Chains A and B, each alone.
Chain A
């Protein structure tokens, strides 16, 4: 496992592989399998969804990375791509979809709106980042990001999955019993979403006070 020091070096393993002997660990095999068949949820929110569709079409061909199976049901999906503006009316549904997805699950915030509210941040009805409610693994900036950027984000996610140890404090959520996996679903209250954020994944940054005003 991860804390055990590797008994042989990578060069020795490569040498063995050339002679037809494949050495691996359970962790590598497990992560290799799940990082190369990440099924995204077929869920489009706004403009970025069009680029997400474009990424799955002939020119960009997300199938090369094992993610062409867009599942309409959250029960069958591994990856939530938040592709577009999340409004305050839509945020509860996004969080509910996230809760309905089975672990192991990952989230990509695609585009400026999903990351921070983007160009609509000044508005009264737009959530200032989906990471206030659900844990986000990969952020892809852009308005909208190009399909290549989405593919790059996916490759980054695969690298992240491949590097996850199966035990210890860095283990993925589904292998741990000490953390809460469900996110509270916000409700549209009198003025804003209640609660306005999920403290388990996001806390407001400390207010910056200029030294001369302190």
Chain B
């Protein structure tokens, strides 16, 4: 009996570990990790088949957080879908809002005032700081470094969330972007607060890096672990830091040049090995580039309206057609594909979730490694289950 002939470990109340026999490998062990497992970043489940301690097969099981976002999107108006996008990737509500707003603006042909484009860039880069700090903290947690780096990351996250809260009224679920602009105009006080945060963030990164980047244990655990080749990453549609860690220069902020990104001077950090350490390093370097963008955007923020005065919020009905809007979210390309039939609701509402597509190559990265490595490889892919299962 081969491994592929076995029924999965999914029977209710069934065991989570069992011995199986494979003609090629001999005696194997099948282990079900998750959906309740402290390292699976939510309710992700993987069934790993082990030869000794080496992974010979890894089967992800999705759907434990399937909240039917796309079906709900077909039955709600365009604007009412905006709060649902907050809950897709619940760490990065601002970038989700922006991607959805871009798709609807394309569909309806709305223009966005310059000030709103700048504010969107500021918020997106703050979100990137938040996401990457938390990711680095969670990754260290997965390595077994319990507490300190995550606490440092969450200390900084709270400062960013204070800004989000004072602007949008909510810490996590901001619901801030609108079609043709932003909901609230940031005050001078708020901008001064954002400037203070930008000025102070470099010191946090220095502190964080002094703890981690040259750390021998971290290097031993992550270097050469979970290697991903650039060819496989491209063919699997991987985007974001996981793709750039393999050395592929693909950043939508440069490739598409959406919004006002072409006006800013920043670089796209690239990795060389495509391993877990590179994926960690890319995030740290991207945060430093985000700080550069933030200071330029805050310095160059123009005046003017925050919303397109012609934009219509109530009774919004774009003409029939379809549009795909995408931006470079912290996790990769986040996109929304909308088909309009001229009514108040989208006919089809489709999310292109970066972390779901980045997760498809998990088995390729984990084969031949141990279970402990699979945990940190999963951590470095940076998934959020709200977006994976939708």
Asked if A pairs with B, the answer is: yes
B12 contacts across to A, CB distance below 8 A: 92, 185, 187
Interchain CB contact under 8 A, A54 and B67: no
**Does residue B154 face the partner (Cβ distance < 8 Å to A)?**
yes
Q: How many residues of A contact B (CB 8 A)?
A: 36
* Cα-based distance from A169 to B64 in the complex (angstroms): 38
Count of inter-chain pairs, beta carbons less than 8 A = 92
Instruction: Give complex CA distance A89, B43 in Å.
Output: 11
Interface size bracket, B side: 20 to 34
Closest residue of B by beta carbon distance from A143: B173
CB-CB under 8 A for A185 and B67, given A44-B42, A51-B172: no
> B90 near A87 (CB under 8 angstroms)?
no
A contact residues around B91 at 8 Å (CB): 50
Q: How far, in whole Å, are A152 and B150 apart by their CA atoms in the complex?
A: 24
* Contact among B38, B151, B158, B386 for A42, CB-based, below 8 A: B38
Task: Decide if B13 touches A122 in the complex (CB within 8 Å).
Answer: no
The answer, among A47, A58, A119, for a CB contact under 8 Å with B154, is A58
Q: Within 8 Å of chain A (Cβ to Cβ): is B72?
A: yes
**Are A46 and B65 in contact (CB-based, < 8 A)?**
yes
Interface of A (DSSP majority class): loop
CB of B66 closer than 8 Å to a CB of A: yes
Given contacts A53-B154, A58-B155, A119-B84, contact A47 B173 (CB under 8 A): yes
A125 lies within 8 A of chain B by Cβ: yes
- A120: chain B residues within 8 A (beta carbon): 67-68, 72
B266-280: which have CB < 8 Å to A? none
Q: In this complex, what residue of A is CB-closest to B66?
A: A125
Residues of B with C-beta under 8 A to A90 = 35, 43, 64-65
Residue A138, interface by CB 8 Å? no
Q: Which of B1-50 contact A (CB under 8 A)?
A: 12-13, 35-38, 42-43
Binary per-residue interface labels of chain A (63-88) against chain B in the complex, 1 for a CB within 8 Å, 0 otherwise = 00000000010000000000011010
Beta-carbon contact of B154 and A125 below 8 Å? no
Give the Cβ gap from A103 to chain B, nearest Cβ, in Å: 20
Q: Give the distance to chain B from A33, nearest Cβ to Cβ, in Å.
A: 26
- Chain A stretch 180-197: residues in CB contact (< 8 A) with chain B: 185, 187
Is B386 in contact with A89, judged by CB distance below 8 angstroms?
A: no
A126 touches B38 (CB 8 A): no
Is A34 interfacial (CB 8 A cutoff)? no
Contact among B64, B71, B151 with A87 in the assembled complex (CB-CB below 8 Å)? B64
Top-5 shortest CB links A-B: A123-B68, A47-B90, A57-B154, A72-B38, A120-B67
Residues of A within 8 A of B (CB): 42-47, 49-51, 53-54, 57-59, 72, 84-85, 87, 89-90, 92-93, 96-97, 119-120, 122-126, 143-144, 146, 185, 187
Beyond the given pairs A87-B65, A143-B173, 4 more chain A to chain B contacts, judged by CB atoms under 8 angstroms and listed by A's residue number, are: A44-B43, A46-B43, A53-B150, A87-B66
14 contacts between A and B (CB under 8 A): A50-B90, A53-B154, A57-B151, A58-B151, A58-B154, A59-B154, A72-B37, A87-B64, A87-B67, A90-B65, A93-B35, A119-B87, A144-B172, A185-B13
